[in-house]
Amino acid sequence: MTLPLDGITVLSLEHAIAAPFCTRQLADLGARVIKVERPGSGDFARAYDQRVLGQSSHFVWVNRSKESLALDLKHPAAAEVMARLVGQADVLVQNLAPGAAARMGLDAERLLRKHPRLIVCDISGYGEDGPYRDKKAYDLLIQSEAGFLSVTGTGEEPAKSGNSIADIAAGMYAYTNILAALMQRQRTGKGSHIDVSMLESLAEWMGFPMYYAFDGAVPPQRNGASHATIFPYGPFAAGDGGKVMLGIQNEREWQAFCEIVLRAPAIHEDERFQGNARRHANRVVLQGLIDDIFRTLTADELVRRLDEARIANARVNDMAGLWAHPQLRARDRWRDVDTPAGVIPALLPPGRQSAFSPRMGAIPSVGQHTKAILAELGMDADALEPVGAGAAR
């Protein structure tokens, strides 16, 4: 089956999440992704944990379908290897420390002069210029800089996202920018330089709270898992200890919620709760009224009433619930993927395609493809042995 990016080669100097997430999605679409790793230890994300058959949960998530080239970038022969790889690549992706790629001669300006069809994508914390250019950036630090922590958590304590949301945002924008650049190159014959920053990526996702606080207005308050400005909208406890998430979006739903779910039409008629603004202003009182009724119901009973009233609702799942989610199973979203330690399940990329099925290839071991890649370049693996290794033997 033909995939959209068949014939496209991506060379990636990547670690952690942002760049690997970007390139894994390119690999899903058929691109050949050559991942350059440190000899021995490889991408440092390989050592984050050992939760998946002794392998890192982060690493197995974002590194399937890639080829691993173990290369010490400081080795005397590394420059020649990189030059030959770049000469055959369509895309170069890197998220090294600020300035590291430029020091190796792999900055976009020099590369595009020599390879005008190349697409160079640099992923960094703050971008290639500006006063923050040289600052190190990790996911939690960008969550802080982008104001994400100011709107997430409870009134007493901010909370970080439970996943690497800044890295994910940057990886997504790098991925979509590369796809756009490939389409543009098809029209113009010219490559381009893409400069993606984690700060700008997460700032884009902060659009609602930014505009809510427009022109000095009071920003959204932290309300845990409840909506900051709409009520009732959030998690509610049932009498059996289960929790159900629900959301009221308009007055028709509010009326149905009172009459069918609460079975208390008098609450709908109460002037304190007419319109979302009043419900939000009186949310403490309203929360108490709702809790008193929900305590008489099991979670299953509550979901049945919400469905009858056509009120949006969801179970408050944990990771076990997500692994076993009946909707994912019914839509056949799981595939088996090989890893160095054995087969693991993996979710198909979002978006069910009628024209093709995404590639779900193996996760490589460190340097698994080094010899084969060097052979393609007309080089021998001995050229990359540590300096002085031959004399030691």
Residues marked active site are found at: 167
d(CA 293, CA 259): 12
Instruction: Residue 184: name the closest of 123, 120, 119 by CA.
Output: 119
Task: Please check whether residue 306 is in contact with residue 238, taking contact to mean a CB–CB distance below 8 angstroms.
Answer: no
Task: Please check whether residue 143 is in contact with residue 161, taking contact to mean a CB–CB distance below 8 angstroms.
Answer: yes
d(CA 268, CA 335): 48
Give the contacts of 319 (CB within 8 A, at least 6 positions apart). none
- Long-range contacts, stretch 147-152, CB < 8 angstroms, 24+ apart: 147/203, 147/206, 147/209, 147/210, 148/202, 148/206, 150/209, 150/219, 150/222, 151/206, 151/209, 151/219, 151/220, 151/222, 151/228, 152/222
d(CA 336, CA 347): 9
CB-based burial label for 136 (10 Å; 0-12, 13-18, 19+): exposed
Bridge partners (DSSP) listed for residue 12? 35, 93
Q: Which pair of structure tokens corresponds to residue 317? A: 């799942």
**DSSP conformational letter for 261:** I
Q: Which pair of structure tokens corresponds to residue 17? A: 């999440």
Q: Which pair of structure tokens corresponds to residue 43? A: 């991408």
Give the contacts of 272 (CB within 8 A, at least 6 positions apart). 278, 279, 282, 285, 286
Task: Please check whether residue 38 is in contact with residue 6, taking contact to mean a CB–CB distance below 8 angstroms.
Answer: no
d(CA 113, CA 366): 32
**DSSP conformational letter for 362:** P
Q: Which pair of structure tokens corresponds to residue 127? A: 């971008």
Helix (H, G, I), strand (E, B) or coil at 332: coil
